[in-house]
Structure 1
Amino acid sequence: MIITAAEPHDVAKLLAFRDEAATWLRGLGSDQWSRPYPADRLLATIEAGLVFMLRDGHTTAGTITLTPDAEAGLWTNGELAEPSMFVNKLTVAREYAGQDLGGRLLDWAGDRACRAGAHWLRLDAWTTNDALQRYYLAHGFTHVRTVLEGGAVNGGPRVSGWLAQREARVADHGFRDQTPKPERLRFAA
Structure 2
Amino acid sequence: MRITTAVPGDLDQLLAFRVEAAKWISKLGSDQWSRPYPPDRLLATIKAGTVFMVRDGVRTAGTITLTPEAEEGLWTPQELREASIFVNKLTVSRNYSGENLGGRLLDWAGDRAYRASAKWLRLDAWTDNTALQRYYLRHDFEHVRTVREGGAINGGPRVSGWLAQRPAFPAQHGFEDQTPSPSAL
In the other structure, the counterpart of 1:15 is 15
Q: 2:41 aligned with 1:41, yes or no?
A: yes
In the other structure, the counterpart of 2:5 is 5
Alpha-carbon displacement from aligned partner over 1:71-104 (angstroms, at most 9, x marks no partner): 0000000000000000000000001000010000
* RMSD after superposition: 1.5
Q: 2:18 aligned with 1:29, yes or no?
A: no
1:42/1:150 CA distance change after superposition, 3 Å: farther
1:84/1:156 CA distance change after superposition, 3 Å: closer
CA distance in 1, matches of 2:157, 2:9: 34
Alpha-carbon displacement from aligned partner over 1:141-164 (angstroms, at most 9, x marks no partner): 000000003499xx9961000000
In the other structure, the counterpart of 1:81 is 81
In the other structure, the counterpart of 2:51 is 51
Q: Secondary structure at the match of 1:160?
A: coil
Which consecutive residues of structure 1, in runs of 5 or more, have no partner in the other structure?
A: none
Q: 2:151 aligned with 1:138, yes or no?
A: no
Give me the TM-score of the superposition, normalised by structure 2. 0.96
Q: Secondary structure at the match of 2:184?
A: coil
Aligned residues: 183
In the other structure, the counterpart of 1:93 is 93
1:150/1:54 CA distance change after superposition, 3 Å: farther
Q: How does 1:146-161 map to 2 (within 5 A)?
A: 146-150=146-150, 158-161=158-161
Q: Secondary structure at the match of 1:127?
A: coil
Q: Secondary structure at the match of 1:105?
A: helix
CA distance in 2, matches of 1:3, 1:79: 29
Amino acid at match of 1:58: V
Deviant stretches of 4+, over 3 Å: none
CA distance in 1, matches of 2:149, 2:90: 24
CA distance in 2, matches of 1:151, 1:111: 32
In the other structure, the counterpart of 1:61 is 61
Give me the TM-score of the superposition, normalised by structure 1. 0.94
